Amino acid sequence: MPDDETTRALLLGRMTGAGEAELARLALARGALALGPERLWLAQPQLLGGPSVASVPLHDVGAVTVVRRRGLLGPRVEVEVVIAGRSVRFRAGGGADAAGRAGEFAAAVADQVRRRG
């Protein structure tokens, strides 16, 4: 599986190729979410081959919320994104400040979605 730096580099390359600049990024347990001026981007490593990258236009993005959950292996932070009316959950990257970083990312997405109206 590719490492986080490889995944991030591919994500930034795809964004740049599409004419988007990274406004905010959130490391996930597996991959990353990134916010551009017009689109929300996701990069996820694959078991075989390189990471996959996908994006959706911001007009399809609804609420972004941060949820703290208790699991068998301890607490975790999830980011829930509503895309085209469907809820998708991502596990935020580890670290003591995962909830804070996820909250900042959620606020940046909400602000950009409002601007794009």
Topology adopted by domain 4-116: PH-domain like (2.30.29)
Question: The tokens 């606020």 sit on which residue?
Answer: 107
pLDDT of 76 reads 87
Q: What's the pLDDT score for residue 69?
A: 85
pLDDT band at 59 (very low <50, low <70, confident <90, very high): very high
CA distances from 99 to 12, 52, 58, 64, 94 (A): 23, 25, 23, 13, 9
pLDDT tens digit sequence for 65-76: 999 888 777 788
Query: In this predicted structure, what is the pLDDT of residue 40?
Result: 97
| Position 43 pLDDT exceeds 70 | yes
- Specify the pLDDT at position 1: 43
